[in-house]
Amino acid sequence: MDFTLSEEQLMIQQAARDFAQNELLPGVVERDDAQKFPAEQVKKMAELGFLGMMVKPEYGGSGLDTLSYVLVMEELSKVEAGASVIVSVNNSLVCWGLETYGNEKQKQKYLTPLATGEVIGAFCLSEPEAGSDATSQKTTAIDKGDHYILNGTKNWITNGSSASTYLVIAQTDIEKGHRGINTLIVEKGMPGFEIGPKENKLGIRSSDTHSLIFNDVKVPKENRIGDDGFGFKFAMKTLSGGRIGIAAQALGIATGAYELALKYSKQRKAFGTEISNHQAIAFKLADMHTHIEAARHLVYKAAWDKDQGNNYDLSSAMAKLYASQVAMEATVEAVQIHGGNGFVKDYHVERMMRDAKITQIYEGTSEIQKIVISRSILKN
């Protein structure tokens, strides 16, 4: 494996870095305080091709590899994880799922506007009693011949009110267990589809997270992705790729916090010298840098596996597990290095610490990742 970035990848990385500094950084504290969705910034990310990065150009995408997507996620997440998760969901979960498993009619109707950023999408799996456990779906889709009647509630849905296209996982035949689950494409505005209140979150506050309520929503059967009963496999494969995006987000949060702490340590003085000259601080920075580099290699390896057509269930779970741990540890240390200023919003690291926590929870908690990893290594 050679992770030397190509000229094109370096250009993409720089474009994302410039965008993050020039478009996301101004106003990031205010958006966090007000839980304001970054609508204008999302529009500009669409213009840069960031919302359909891995989608083929014939469907309006950029046709780029997974590593390029990881580079963009990392740069955006250094500044505003609430904005980067919008990119992650649209790319990793919605666009990828539709392009990989949708039929041609579905791709033309739904994938193209999603890839171009004309609209954004949402992935609807989690429920009040079913987070990462897709087999425990309470949302039902009753087969009525040429359509399904959808009933249930989905929780913690990113892009909940801002999306126009929703991929909803639902149980069609409970007696079949995971073989009775389907994925339906639901459009905003379908009768009976309601968007619940916005969640008041600890972190990633600029992304809009809502519950979704489905009351006898009539969904055409042509909106089902794949054969009858394919929904569980769809959810598992899509989540596996989604973990790469969240691992990249965690990597970006950790790197952004480290860079701020490093810069601050060279400016702040205590006991007659810059605090970076004190071994207690220097050793913290050394540990942060080492752990971040280790996380980066795991994330890049998972992206490489996906691009090579290898099975990436294990590598994506390891990348997500470790990178999210590093994000939490690095942001806590960044706050510590900043001292009292680390508790102040204008220094950004307190927000990064809050944002880091969610990377250990969504796309499967750390415990879920350990289940995936242990099953993989123990079956051999």
Q: What are the CA-CA distances from residue 35 to residues 198, 223, 267 (Å)?
A: 9, 32, 31
Is residue 222 annotated as part of the catalytic site, yes or no? Answer: no
Residue with tokens 């799922």: 97
Contact yes or no for 142/148 (Cβ under 8 A)? yes
Q: What are the CA-CA distances from residue 25 to residues 72, 174, 346, 353, 369 (Å)?
A: 15, 47, 11, 17, 32
Tokens for 73, please give them. 């996620």
Tokens for 174, please give them. 């409970």
Which of 75, 127, 350, 363 does the annotation list as catalytic? Answer: 363
Task: List the one residue out of 39, 165, 9 whose CA is nearest residue 98.
Answer: 165
Terminal CA-CA length for the chain: 23
Query: Cβ of 275: how many Cβ atoms within 10 Å?
Result: 19
209-220 vs 181-187, strand pairing mode: unpaired
Residues 6 or more apart whose CB falls under 8 angstroms from that of 374 comprise: none
Q: Name the residues annotated as catalytic.
A: 363
